[in-house]
Amino acid sequence: MNRNRMRHGLMLALATAVFGGLSITTGPSASAATTLVPKVFKNPFDGDTGGVSAYAQLREYQGVGYIVRYQAVFHAEGETLEVWDRLTDGSEATVVLKVYDRDNNLVDTDKFTTGKDHTFNLGTPDGSGNITEGYKVRFILSGGGYTTPPIEGIA
Q: For 20-70, how does the pLDDT look when each residue is reduced to its tens digit (9 = 90+)? A: 433 333 443 333 446 788 888 788 766 778 899 999 999 999 888 999 999
Q: Please give the mean pLDDT across all residues of the chain.
A: 78
**Average pLDDT score over residue span 109-138:** 85
pLDDT score for 127: 54
pTM beyond 0.85, yes or no? no
Q: Is the dihedral of CA 155, 22, 56, 10 positive or negative?
A: positive
pLDDT score for 84: 94
The verdict on residue 38 lying in a domain is: yes
Strands (E), 10-101: 37-43, 53-62, 65-75, 80-85, 93-100
Q: Give the domain range for residue 122.
A: 24-154
Q: How many domains does the chain have?
A: 1
The verdict on residue 40 lying in a domain is: yes
The verdict on residue 99 lying in a domain is: yes
pLDDT band at 74 (very low <50, low <70, confident <90, very high): very high
